[in-house]
Structure 1
Amino acid sequence: MTLGQILLATLLAGVGSVWLAALLIRLGVMAQGARVQGHHLLSFAAGSLLATAFVHLLPEAMESPSADLHTLFTVLLAGLVAFFLLDKAELWHHGHEHHAHAGHVAPSPHSHSHPHLPGAARQRQPGGWSILAGDSVHCFGDGVLIASAFLVDWRVGLLAAFSVLAHEVPHHIGDLIVLAEHSEGPAAQRHRAARIKVSVAGSMTALGGLMGYGLLGLLDAQWLPYLLVVAASSFIYVALADLVPQLQLQLTARQTALQVSWLLAGMLLVAVVSHVLHAGHEHGAHGGHDHAGHRHAHEEPPAELGSFRQHPLHLDRLRPPPGPKP
């Protein structure tokens, strides 16, 4: 059941985000004067990523009795440095700045062309194959992170998949625009080819989820909180190093307020979804139903922890039973 959930969530996050991006392009989201601009989507994505990392993944990892806080924060720091190095190698960078690529979006105050960057970096425009290669690597990594979240609890996995989808949509909007320009033929044919190419790259999320499920299932359960911290470090890095810098534009007070509103909306939506999922979980746990396989704190834990695949639900099952009452 867990594997099916992982595959479904990774496909929705990886491929579903491509088709949602194509729909937004068709609706004119990136057009000059549109009510919803690209930087609004970036703000929403940044908010959802930060909320998922700080409100859900990190607290979930810290609740594990087998995890040491000092080690967890060391892993968090190491993860941020690792993603920085991957970014330098152009294996993790999203490249949202090609949203305003020539011809499709008229120059405007909302352009993500990064006027503050050096000229050489500003003029660098990746080709079609380099975009697809980078996309595939990043989507594969996203799939592994989603799988690690699902192995904790399907609710954590669902929030992780939603956050991945949210930050992939503005990224795929740029990919579709650039790849359509690098294709030949009529406009409809070029856009169709771009959708297919980016969808294939997005499907690597499902492959990453499958590989992650298989490999992580071989590890002891004590590694799970550290994998959650790695996932959180990925979300934090993408939000603060990739998305937020592109929002540092000279905007009017009204435009800035809209940016902040979209940022808060992303955070709020994650908080609401998290609350609803956990409320439903608590209702089911106390509603008199028999939940086979789910252990509560008052039950005896398993004699041996085993692997993630044996214990895929929640870190609560790793907590020792309460001591005898005096």
Structure 2
Amino acid sequence: MAPRLLKLAPVAILLSLICLAYAQDHAKINNAAVDIGSLSTQEIEDELQQCPIIQALHVHKQSHSSTTPSLLSQSFKLLFPFASPAYNSLMGCLYISGPPNFLLALVPTDVDPSSLIIMVAFAVGGLLGDVFFHLMPEIFLGEVPEGEVRAVLVEPNKNLLLGVAIMVGFVTFVGMDKGLRIATGGAGHTHSHDDASSNGQAVGSEKAAATGSSASTDGEIRQRKQATKDVASTVPPPSEKPKEVKLSAYLNILADFTHNITDGLALSSSFYASPTIGATTTLAVFCHEIPHEVGDFALLIQGGMSKKVAMGLQFVTALGAVLGTIIGIVVQEYGGGGAEVVGKGMGLAGTSLNWGDLLLPFTAGTFLYVGTVGVIPEMLETGPNKMKELRATAMQYLAMAAGAGIMLGISWD
């Protein structure tokens, strides 16, 4: 009997605290009920913080939390020393735009984009880890400062609008990618060698058809000759190739510029959410930008451009991140980023949301697209050697786990 009572003791203590809180605050709640409609969501949550249960949990949390800042938090404060989220956003933009572009000076001109698949897998893990471990919890619940306990007021319609913003960000990138594929005749924005390899296969098929076995029947020879004509008709004349490749390269630059704008929006909205979310988003974007920039640089070189011109164009695309960051700062500063009066329904669709609050879920949707539809198909490509592909797949999974593990470790600590 005694062990059973011991198990029920925590429940009894919790019920006692609830009853005590209700008895103490019952009169206050009745007196304030008339004015509850004039309070904003933030003001209601601040009032909930005065609840005895929340206060007791707060004291318990502080007593078990370390007072010494972690090495990670100290590093973040060193990298982003400003109190203003706008200045920290611009600093993050400098980090993701500067080093990857200067790194291109060390990249050989004959680099194969397909050799970057391990780096791409690492970036996918980082992007998806940032979305699911950092952005999603922040979007729907907000971030709790270290050592604190907070009560969150749930608004179902607010959560629906946040979900809509995530979907809009995802679909926006679907439309952008589709438009690019239409403009390039179906090539799309990729770092692979699909076009070059398909041309090589066409030429190889042409040679194989032209050197058919003498033991073949007349019908087979005619079929091979016809196949040779068909393949030859699909391969553009040498004088037309540079023009087509350069057009694809310039369209690739346009796609990169647009993509970098969303990176800038992600940085600004993340830093306005919290310094930690901003720092982790900067890290995720940085890990993605290195293979992204190197792959695009290789495509420009293959398009007939010199290394100097290719580096200059990649620098131009980096300005897209600056533009996106500035746009995000303007929206956050002048788009009404705070909570509106709930009772009067002054927010979007009667919720406490403002336009600035939709930037973070929008960028989360774009990250979802880039980390899944935009990149994973490249990782799904396989060759005829099964053992080689199995080893490559294992390395890709390890790289993804490493990228996601870094984001999980940052969130956990």
Shorter-normalised TM range: 0.5 to 0.7
Letter in 1 for 2:258: V
Match of 2:394 among 257, 260, 264: 257
Distance between the aligned counterparts of 1:127 and 1:226, measured in 2?
Answer: 33
* Residue 238 of structure 1: aligned partner: 370
State the 1:193 CA deviation: 2.5
Contact 1:21 1:169 in 2 (8 A): no
Distance between the aligned counterparts of 2:302 and 2:164, measured in 1?
Answer: 44
Letter in 2 for 1:199: F
Higher helix proportion = 2
Unaligned runs of 5+ in 1: 108-118, 185-189, 280-326
Aligned residue pair count: 250
- The more displaced of 94-103 and 126-135 is 94-103
Match of 2:118 among 40, 43, 59: 40
Letter in 2 for 1:82: T
State the 1:51 CA deviation: 0.6
State the 1:246 CA deviation: 0.7
Distance between the aligned counterparts of 2:301 and 2:407, measured in 1?
Answer: 33
* Residue 177 of structure 1: aligned partner: 298
Match of 1:3 among 74, 86, 92: 86
Q: Report SS of the residue matched to 1:95.
A: coil
* Residue 328 of structure 2: aligned partner: 212
* Residue 201 of structure 1: aligned partner: 317
Q: Cα gap change, 1:55/1:27 in structure 2, threshold over 3 Å: closer, same or farther?
A: farther
Contact 1:140 1:209 in 2 (8 A): yes
* Residue 191 of structure 2: aligned partner: 97
* Residue 167 of structure 1: aligned partner: 288
State the 1:168 CA deviation: 2.2
Instruction: After superposition, give the CA deviation of every residue in 1:42-82 in whole Å (9 maximum; x if it has no partner).
Output: 11111111110011101001114475323322332233222
State the 1:22 CA deviation: 4.9
Contact 1:139 1:204 in 2 (8 A): yes
Distance between the aligned counterparts of 1:43 and 1:28, measured in 2?
Answer: 22
1:64-103 to structure 2, matched below 5 A, reads: 64=142, 65=153, 68-90=158-180, 95-98=189-192, 102=196
* Residue 312 of structure 1: aligned partner: none
* Residue 298 of structure 1: aligned partner: none
Letter in 1 for 2:294: I
State the 1:183 CA deviation: 4.5
Report % sequence identity.
Answer: 23
Distance between the aligned counterparts of 1:137 and 1:173, measured in 2?
Answer: 17
Distance between the aligned counterparts of 1:79 and 1:136, measured in 2?
Answer: 16
* Residue 19 of structure 1: aligned partner: 102
Q: What TM-score do you get using the length of structure 2 for normalisation?
A: 0.54
State the 1:6 CA deviation: 1.1
Distance between the aligned counterparts of 1:236 and 1:246, measured in 2?
Answer: 16
Letter in 2 for 1:227: L
State the 1:245 CA deviation: 0.9
1:53-64 to structure 2, matched below 5 A, reads: 53-64=131-142
Unaligned runs of 5+ in 2: 1-83, 143-152, 182-186, 202-230, 235-240, 339-352, 383-387
Taking only aligned residues, the RMSD between alpha carbons, in angstroms, comes to 3.2
